[in-house]
Structure 1
């Protein structure tokens, strides 16, 4: 018996990204390299920030936490996906599926909140520079980071509780390479009208609201930079451009997938690759290649 009181399904079958053996080998090579880049790139960012006293500002503290979240997010998905790509039968136990879903949304929602906090940090640095050190102190930063993790935990707990009370009696085939909310609840043996609306309002609206807050903060930043043409403001604007690239890679796919109740598309699993694999790979590259201070610290660490 699975977690739900009326569930008879003890495992799910994952169809994966492709059923062609040649493509599976190609995907395995690509995702193995991507996972290695995520681990090495984000660990390098964390070590660089933690070892260089010059990188002790709130922006780099938040960046360090973003790298840690990226490692966690990819580690929830990639190891099992790599094993499944080499397996003939891709199955996952009901309890493991719920656990994967829980931790994915835990770290995913935490990253959404953290990216929003990072946008607020840049807004404060540009629009309120004289009060920046008072507003974004180390203590405030740690409180905001803790709030991001707490918000992610609450969001994921709500998702899990909504799913485990559903009865699953078959079919048990998921057209994806990991367990996610939309394809899993479609397999429930009951009317999921209310559940789908709750899921969309929980995941989809969180993504949309955070994205709108981010866009609004950048609009204020652009207006401020347009008025004050100073070298310092252009430097901050360059950092914000990097941040916006990360935001686009992460939020747009999430909004597309989670803000649509009552429908799942075959393309959803390919779009999911963007925020589960591609975005964590690009984050350290975007932040290091466009940030002279981080590059200088990495070179110093290398020497």
Structure 2
């Protein structure tokens, strides 16, 4: 049996743009289509819609609706952005999207990591923040392959095996291997789950690591409308730069690790 392990990227994060710098609004298709982002990275702006944090010493995060998208649009991409404050050395702060906003950081610090939504409405809801997404560390054309879901769900026999494209958008060191992966999981292709809104685990094998090896991962997918439910799961790994579609049947992952995922590194050789 494998062990559960949270995996983080060792790549360096992108620097925050100066406060007076005019952000570059990029074509949103770069963030939502199945094509790699340019090596130079992407900078865009968004409007704050929600701010959350926790009490575990991690950074707070801001959820943005990208400019030019309708707030009520079910398909509008949203961004979870970590703040650029380092309270303590922590591997999870590497390769995160940086946003410079001292007011948010100070509020987070004074409230022990919990920022009520009431703080966002009067102070931040109408504010636009610039966001810089880090560029991929390097291109790996060989990794434009696919991953296959392995039968682990108790009702796996009731739906077909599904494969999903691998987007080479980030660098994830796992043990002695390097995995470059960010995935778009089309949940509708793997059939229903037992129980309304119940999460289920599926094991996927990522093909295309260094020296042709493979690593096993356990992915947690959700079929739920409730974003608060997604954000509060125990082992939920919500990383900066993650694009979360508002559609309950589609989860979009971007950058160094896909969002809404739970990873297991198997002990088997």
Q: Could you say which TM-score interval applies, normalised by the shorter chain? A: under 0.3
Larger radius of gyration: 1
TM-score (norm 2): 0.26
Q: If each structure's helix is expressed as a fraction of its own residues, which one has the higher value?
A: 1
Larger strand proportion, structure 1 or 2? Answer: 2
Higher relative contact order (CA 8 A, sep 6+): 1
